[in-house]
């Protein structure tokens, strides 16, 4: 989890697009999006086709798929299975679209920290992925058809290792020569409702915020030499964004109720969103610092979504894994 | 952790008193309080001496000690040791004041759920307490002087056991006949800054909120037949109270800046606090529900404070445990 | 887990019967047994019908069902599902046989210690059981048909609580008035191969060994006032029994090879089994103490078998839970 | 933990030397050793000075330090602190002897698997080490004197990652250019008494057994290009070695008792040790497989010794860390 994520407005392209649309209107040139919703699962595909479109929404050019499942935290195993299958299908199609064939070797990187629950998504996914590279290396003639060469590493976090994840991953990539890296990361979101209900897939790799300076490196094709797909799930929210978001909601709530256009929230109405967020942050600062918060039930939520992602990847990466009965392959 | 805690305004007497003072002024008859601060540890003793004072602040008559250590989350082992010693001293004095002698047998109850991190405070404390009752029962003549008869149980939560904690505890009290029950519980607070930085000790026992009806029972002298001291630590905050609290802060921030008394926050200024909280809850409702949130680093915070409380209790309950070197007795 | 279990020869009736048969021959009056094996699952039902038969095998009169699944540690989810279904069926039949009706209220007790992996079976089962008692208490008219009133508690261990489990359970039984107690416990076995591959069900309750004196109490109908079914799984072995057991195997191995009847193992051949075990214990004593050991992979094994037992109980206790798809109800 | 360790006779030079001495006598050319014992801590330094000496004991030429603390499992925090200080002193002296200066950069590698308790030593040590490399990289002018450049990675195990640890480590070494690698590993021992009571330091690196073929690679200077110090702790024992070891003990026990030199254990007496071990393995084989076992209390033992090793390394590697108060620097 990259703390500098806060300095960018959001880790999610979907939220970035919504924010941009609020300011710039719906029609941003070079920005395409389509949404499909079915039985509680909404899938939005966003294509940022030009650098201008990227700048408009503060996201790199590339393709983004967002899977939103508002009821995913309700412990419904049926829904979880459907999401897993859907993720597998979308991910397989995504691989095909960007030219990944079934001979391509994949390295899965689980970013984050085992010992901080909302940050443990990546390592948990790694633990549940079906890895096969060692069989291809040690007993290549005994590997059944339908399996791809897959490896998976959780490199740890800077505070524990003293080494940037991107350096560790670059070393592993150079030793093992995968054709594709898939990086799993926990994200910060703008709203509590997204925490552990939203999955984003992007072909842009992982870019740390610019806050800490250009010394921090990302996981990108530029750095690693192979394409990088990022899978992210919001697991935390800044307290300040909850507050700011709620003020927004209150403003529109009042406007609806009163049908007024005047200064319903007084001075708050006059502020631009970024100014107001800055204000909220200033106000919260004396309270210690602007804390990242997570739902009380995070232990269970993280386990559930790690299982969904690992199972989805297993089915998308290995033809031999049944898309409809994906859960059987993880513990 | 009692979810109905939300329907009362706060679990902390200190917060309740502050809120009442905002509305009623500082001079509430029957309410005494004194504060002492030393090297980053602030101790406030509140005595609710009359039912009227209790009603005014929404707390039962009784004695409340609050230990506030704003920097307790900063992983400073020196400070943690000082807080432990202070807790031990205050708790020992509290025991003496309410007439607990060194012959009195104590049963420690750790409320909460092992598997939900912010809710695991009670079970973690139980695990680290120095229990001795079995020695008194099995080999009474070999127990060294300076040890009190102590037992400790984590009864689990209703959703796992199907039994109210108070029923389980009542059964254990009737079998083992302690003279005093000490109940440890995770609380909901009004502000993020208090999470795992504040410890409250109260001689009033634990009272569930009235929300779920009179079928839910507390841990009180009335029900258990022996006095009950409650030790509580805020480990979660409702998202709505973060928002509401922040709006307060913004209002006073603006007032300070502008030196105005007018309608700085528009309609928000005109609402009473409870009305505004109600509004915030309504606004947050569509986002799923009004989530309880906790800081991202809760795993470490909970371990640290459980260690402080267990060590403090060990020193306060057993004369043979050195108040200045309390940590050596827990693992 | 009761360490005094060691002073009795084995916690498993099946092993006790085999040991007795070695000495007394197959035909022990008052001892009935039948075995059924199907697709890797062997079920043995032993009835100890008389006190004499009990004395002969060192087990209390009563009924014992043993489910042996040698391949249960091989991480085969198909086999695990079949064992769960089989356990559910056998347990349901067992309940019927001893007169438990579907109106009878059940209290499940998970003995053992959360923090010692091979000892955590009981608490893990409790955590995964479907409890309903609180619904019957709080919203009786909304409980769907097909559910029984079930509660579940993990009382902790003497070293943590200072209170005998039997006292805690007796207190809970008196408060909640169940008609039946089911107690889950981790056992010591005579052989490593049984660890986490064998499940024993007995209607005799749980009797601590006599080693520590009559102050330790069991979970029995006599003490609790309601019938007690014990479900036990061997999770540890004494190092001395591994050694002793292996010497046995070597002796018979040599005898087979050499077709001799002479003194193949020299002095070891001349010793009675108990004498030899005593010798092995003496020999191992200087090495620290006669350690209880467990397989290296115990973390995974314990999780798997706890899941099997909880799922099996859920299906056996609630008609509404499908016997063929039992796993869906636990997390 | 390297399972092929079994095919070599023991992971510990000390045990190898004892075994060789039994067969070849005490005077093996090229093998030097000295032992020092003080207050329950025995330190043995073995120098394997020639390839012949290495062949005689089945260990590579190099220096080995063994720290034996038989009472280390008895939960005595005073003893643990003394062992930590001793380890720090010995390790610092060892570094000096092999020419490591305080400018040399160190990479700590914690081998093993988070999720298998007896195998989690390496990752637990990594988690508690004081890493500083990122400060040297990001804010070099703010690093206090007395700190060395240290990084630490837990690369995971082949079954989870699909990549040999040595490949991952080689990649990291090439990216980060340390001057020394310290690798922490859990070992298999010949005797239960050594489990979590013995620490071995060796300057030979880590060599996988030859069992699986030359495809498996070690962590050695040859492969990594920098010196590798291995720190190992036995955390498991093969069941067969417990049995074999016990038979030895019984044989000498009988011989002492009877003062006989004849065939006390019959055919077992006539077998060479390796033949007998082979026999024991054959006999245990049908029981599943020759299981690796670990003491029941392994969870606590592993935590304790990981803390000792991490604290010892912190003090040995950073001059600024006080050798006498080492524990304060880990959590």
| Reported confidence tier of residue C165, pLDDT bands at 50, 70, 90 | very high
Cα A291 to chain centroid distance, Å, stands at 20
**Does residue C7 register a pLDDT over 50?**
no
**What letter does residue B106 receive in the DSSP assignment?**
E
pLDDT digits (tens, 9 = 90+) for A265-296: 666 666 666 677 777 777 676 655 567 889 99
3-state secondary structure of C232: strand
- Best mutation target, D105, D163, D174, to test chain A (most A CBs within 10 A): D163
CA closest to B159 among chain C residues: C131
| Reported confidence tier of residue C273, pLDDT bands at 50, 70, 90 | low
**β-strands C62-68, C198-202 pairing:** antiparallel
Taking alpha carbons only, the member of B119, B191, C293 closest to residue D297 is C293
Sorted by sequence, the CB contacts under 8 Å of residue C278 that are 6+ apart come out as: none
pLDDT at C325: 65
- Asked if the C-beta of D282 comes within 8 angstroms of chain C's C-beta atoms, the answer is yes
Taking alpha carbons only, the member of C111, C128, C310, C124 closest to residue C206 is C111
Rounded CA separation C47/C66 (Å):
11
Instruction: Please indicate whether residue A126 or residue B210 has the higher confidence score (pLDDT).
Output: A126
Instruction: Provide mean pLDDT across the span D260-287.
Output: 66
What would the two tokens of residue A292 be? 């990242």
- Asked if the C-beta of B69 comes within 8 angstroms of chain A's C-beta atoms, the answer is no
Out of B254, B267, B294, closest to residue A294 by CB: B294
Instruction: Provide mean pLDDT across the span C237-244.
Output: 82
Q: Enumerate the residues of chain D whose CB falls inside 8 A of the CB of residue A115.
A: 127
Please answer whether residues A309 and A186 qualify as being in contact, where contact means their C-beta atoms are separated by less than 8 angstroms.
Answer: no
Sorted by sequence, the CB contacts under 8 Å of residue C248 that are 6+ apart come out as: C273
Q: Enumerate the residues of chain A whose CB falls inside 8 A of the CB of residue C300.
A: 331
- Asked if the C-beta of D126 comes within 8 angstroms of chain A's C-beta atoms, the answer is yes
- Asked if the C-beta of B153 comes within 8 angstroms of chain C's C-beta atoms, the answer is yes
pLDDT digits (tens, 9 = 90+) for D156-176: 999 999 999 999 999 999 999
Burial B252-286 (b: 16+ CB within 10 A, else e): eebeeeeeeeeebbbbbbeeeeeebbebbbebbee
**Does residue D279 register a pLDDT over 80?**
no
The runs of H, that is alpha helices, within C148-231 are 158-161, 165-176, 221-224
pLDDT digits (tens, 9 = 90+) for A92-140: 999 999 999 989 999 999 999 989 999 999 999 999 999 999 999 989 9
Out of C134, C155, C161, closest to residue B162 by CB: C134
Residues B170, C173: C-beta atoms closer than 8 Å: no
Structural domains in chain B, sorted by start: 6-240+291-319 (3.40.50.1450), 241-287 (no CATH)
Instruction: Provide mean pLDDT across the span B300-306.
Output: 95
pLDDT digits (tens, 9 = 90+) for D101-128: 999 999 999 999 989 999 999 999 999 9
CA closest to D81 among chain B residues: B328
| Reported confidence tier of residue A320, pLDDT bands at 50, 70, 90 | very high
CA closest to A242 among chain B residues: B243
3-state secondary structure of B107: strand
Alpha carbon separation from C84 to A183, A216, C81 (Å, rounded): 37, 51, 5
- Asked if the C-beta of B289 comes within 8 angstroms of chain A's C-beta atoms, the answer is no
pLDDT at B155: 96
3-state secondary structure of B136: helix
CA closest to A296 among chain B residues: B293
Beta bridge partners of C106: C150, C180
What would the two tokens of residue B271 be? 């609402």
Question: In chain C, which ranges are E strands?
Answer: 31-38, 41-48, 62-68, 106-110, 150-153, 180-189, 198-202, 228-238, 292-295
pLDDT at A4: 35
- Asked if the C-beta of D325 comes within 8 angstroms of chain B's C-beta atoms, the answer is no
Sorted by sequence, the CB contacts under 8 Å of residue D112 that are 6+ apart come out as: D1, D119, D120, D121, D122, D123, D154, D157, D184, D185, D186
Q: Enumerate the residues of chain C whose CB falls inside 8 A of the CB of residue D116.
A: 296-297, 299-300
pLDDT at B57: 86
Residues B294, A292: C-beta atoms closer than 8 Å: no
Out of B160, B164, B175, closest to residue C126 by CB: B160
Instruction: Please indicate whether residue B201 or residue C274 has the higher confidence score (pLDDT).
Output: B201
Instruction: Please indicate whether residue B19 or residue B127 has the higher confidence score (pLDDT).
Output: B127
**Does residue D268 register a pLDDT over 70?**
no
Rounded CA separation D231/D118 (Å):
15
**Does residue B267 register a pLDDT over 60?**
yes
Helix axes B77-97, B298-317, angle to 10 degrees: 40
Q: Which of A:156-195 have CB within 8 Å of D?
A: 156, 158-164, 167-168, 170-176
Number of helices (H), then strands (E), in chain B: 12, 9
Instruction: Please indicate whether residue B263 or residue B202 has the higher confidence score (pLDDT).
Output: B202
What would the two tokens of residue B140 be? 């009474």
**Does residue A19 register a pLDDT over 80?**
no
Provide the Cα torsion A289, A292, A296, A302; round to 10°.
-160
Out of A115, A263, A269, closest to residue B299 by CB: A115
Chain B: nearest CA to D262, how far in angstroms? 49
- Asked if the C-beta of C77 comes within 8 angstroms of chain A's C-beta atoms, the answer is yes
Instruction: Provide mean pLDDT across the span A299-319.
Output: 95
pLDDT at D273: 67
**Does residue B15 register a pLDDT over 90?**
no
Chain D: nearest CA to C165, how far in angstroms? 20
**Does residue B188 register a pLDDT over 80?**
yes
Rounded CA separation D117/D120 (Å):
5
Taking alpha carbons only, the member of D186, B34, D291 closest to residue C242 is D291
3-state secondary structure of B198: strand
Q: Enumerate the residues of chain B whose CB falls inside 8 A of the CB of residue C137.
A: 215
Residues A291, B295: C-beta atoms closer than 8 Å: yes
Rounded CA separation A66/A83 (Å):
12
pLDDT at C188: 85
CA closest to D301 among chain B residues: B331
pLDDT digits (tens, 9 = 90+) for D21-73: 877 777 888 899 999 999 999 999 999 999 988 888 888 899 999 999 999 98
Rounded CA separation C249/D125 (Å):
41
| Reported confidence tier of residue B5, pLDDT bands at 50, 70, 90 | very low
Q: Whole-number mean pLDDT of chain C?
A: 85
pLDDT at C324: 67
Residue D71 has a CB neighbour count (10 Å cut-off) of 13
pLDDT at A1: 42
Q: Which helix (H) or strand (E) holds B138?
A: helix B133-138
Rounded CA separation B86/B90 (Å):
6
Chain A: nearest CA to D139, how far in angstroms? 10
- Asked if the C-beta of D1 comes within 8 angstroms of chain A's C-beta atoms, the answer is no
- Asked if the C-beta of B239 comes within 8 angstroms of chain A's C-beta atoms, the answer is yes
What would the two tokens of residue A208 be? 């740390």
- Asked if the C-beta of B105 comes within 8 angstroms of chain C's C-beta atoms, the answer is no
Q: Whole-number mean pLDDT of chain A?
A: 85
What would the two tokens of residue C226 be? 């309601």
What would the two tokens of residue B291 be? 């989530």
Q: Enumerate the residues of chain B whose CB falls inside 8 A of the CB of residue A115.
A: 299-300
**CB-count burial class (<10 Å; 0-12, 13-18, 19+) for C292:** buried
Residues B283, A250: C-beta atoms closer than 8 Å: yes
What would the two tokens of residue B118 be? 């912010």
Q: Whole-number mean pLDDT of chain D?
A: 85
Sorted by sequence, the CB contacts under 8 Å of residue C72 that are 6+ apart come out as: C79, C80, C83, C196, C197, C304, C305
pLDDT at D197: 94
pTM: 0.90
| B neighbours by CB contacts (3+ pairs under 8 Å) | A, C, D
**What letter does residue A329 receive in the DSSP assignment?**
G
- Asked if the C-beta of A147 comes within 8 angstroms of chain D's C-beta atoms, the answer is no
Residues A163, D134: C-beta atoms closer than 8 Å: yes
Provide the Cα torsion D253, D259, D265, D269; round to 10°.
100
Beta bridge partners of D200: D66, D232
Residues A162, D127: C-beta atoms closer than 8 Å: no
Chains B–D, number of C-beta pairs less than 8 Å apart: 6
3-state secondary structure of D293: strand
Sorted by sequence, the CB contacts under 8 Å of residue A119 that are 6+ apart come out as: A1, A112, A113, A157, A186, A235, B296
Out of B162, B176, B215, closest to residue C163 by CB: B176
The runs of H, that is alpha helices, within chain A are 13-24, 51-57, 77-97, 121-128, 133-138, 158-161, 165-176, 221-224, 239-258, 267-270, 273-284, 298-317
- Asked if the C-beta of B26 comes within 8 angstroms of chain C's C-beta atoms, the answer is no
Rounded CA separation A56/A41 (Å):
27
3-state secondary structure of B208: coil
- Exposure of B295 in the CB half-sphere (CA atoms within 13 A): 23
Q: Whole-number mean pLDDT of chain B?
A: 85
pLDDT at D5: 34
Instruction: Provide mean pLDDT across the span B264-271.
Output: 66
3-state secondary structure of C292: strand
Rounded CA separation C122/C111 (Å):
5
**β-strands C41-48, C31-38 pairing:** antiparallel
| Reported confidence tier of residue A259, pLDDT bands at 50, 70, 90 | low
CA closest to B161 among chain C residues: C152
Please answer whether residues C192 and C238 qualify as being in contact, where contact means their C-beta atoms are separated by less than 8 angstroms.
Answer: no
- Exposure of D88 in the CB half-sphere (CA atoms within 13 A): 26
| Reported confidence tier of residue B16, pLDDT bands at 50, 70, 90 | confident
Residue with tokens 């749980």: C206
- Asked if the C-beta of B327 comes within 8 angstroms of chain D's C-beta atoms, the answer is no
Out of D150, D172, D212, closest to residue A171 by CB: D172
Q: Which of C:197-236 have CB within 8 Å of B?
A: 212-213, 215
Rounded CA separation B125/B123 (Å):
5
**Does residue D214 register a pLDDT over 50?**
no
pLDDT at D267: 64
pLDDT at A25: 76
Out of B131, B164, B175, closest to residue C160 by CB: B131
**Does residue A20 register a pLDDT over 50?**
yes
pLDDT digits (tens, 9 = 90+) for C189-227: 878 888 899 999 999 999 875 333 344 578 999 999 999
Residue A27 has a CB neighbour count (10 Å cut-off) of 7
Instruction: Provide mean pLDDT across the span C17-42.
Output: 86
**Does residue B162 register a pLDDT over 90?**
yes
Please answer whether residues C250 and C244 qualify as being in contact, where contact means their C-beta atoms are separated by less than 8 angstroms.
Answer: no
Residues A77, C328: C-beta atoms closer than 8 Å: yes
- Best mutation target, C73, C75, C76, C77, to test chain A (most A CBs within 10 A): C77
CA closest to A330 among chain C residues: C77
Which percentage of chain B shows pLDDT scores above 70?
Answer: 83
Cα of first residue to Cα of last residue in chain C, in angstroms, is 25
pLDDT at A326: 62
Rounded CA separation A327/A35 (Å):
27
Beta bridge partners of B53: none
What would the two tokens of residue D259 be? 């003062």
Instruction: Provide mean pLDDT across the span A219-245.
Output: 90
């Amino acid at each position: 989890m990259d703390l500098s994520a806060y300095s960018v407005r959001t880790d999610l392209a979907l939220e970035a697009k919504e924010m941009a649309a609020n300011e710039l209107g719906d029609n941003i040139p070079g920005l395409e999006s389509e949404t499909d919703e079915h039985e509680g699962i909404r899938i939005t595909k966003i294509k940022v086709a030009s650098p201008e479109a990227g700048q408009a929404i503060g996201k790199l050019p590339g393709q983004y798929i967002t899977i939103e499942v508002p009821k995913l935290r309700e412990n419904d195993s049926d829904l979880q299975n459907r999401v897993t299958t859907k993720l597998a299908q979308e991910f397989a199609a995504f691989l095909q679209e960007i030219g990944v064939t079934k001979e391509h070797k994949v390295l899965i990187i689980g970013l984050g920290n085992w010992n901080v629950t909302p940050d443990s998504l990546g390592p948990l996914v790694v633990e549940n992925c079906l890895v096969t590279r060692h069989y291809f290396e040690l007993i290549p003639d005994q590997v059944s058809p339908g399996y791809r060469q897959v490896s998976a590493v959780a490199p740890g976090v800077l505070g524990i290792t003293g080494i940037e994840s991107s350096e560790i991953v670059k070393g592993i990539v150079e030793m093992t020569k995968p054709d594709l890296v898939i990086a799993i990361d926990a994200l910060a979101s703008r709203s509590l409702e997204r925490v552990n209900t939203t999955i984003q897939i992007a072909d842009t790799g992982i870019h740390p915020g610019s806050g800490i300076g250009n010394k921090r490196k990302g996981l990108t094709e530029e750095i690693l030499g192979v394409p990088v797909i990022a899978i992210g799930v919001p697991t935390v929210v800044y307290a300040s964004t909850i507050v700011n978001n709620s003020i927004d909601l209150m403003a529109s709530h009042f406007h609806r109720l009163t049908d007024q256009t005047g200064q319903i929230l007084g001075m708050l109405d006059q502020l631009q969103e970024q100014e107001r967020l800055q204000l909220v942050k200033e106000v919260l600062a004396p309270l210690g610092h602007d804390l990242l918060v997570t739902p009380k039930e995070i232990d269970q939520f993280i386990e559930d979504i790690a299982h969904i992602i690992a199972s989805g990847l297993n089915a998308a990466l290995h033809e031999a894994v049944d898309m409809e009965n994906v859960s059987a392959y993880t513990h």
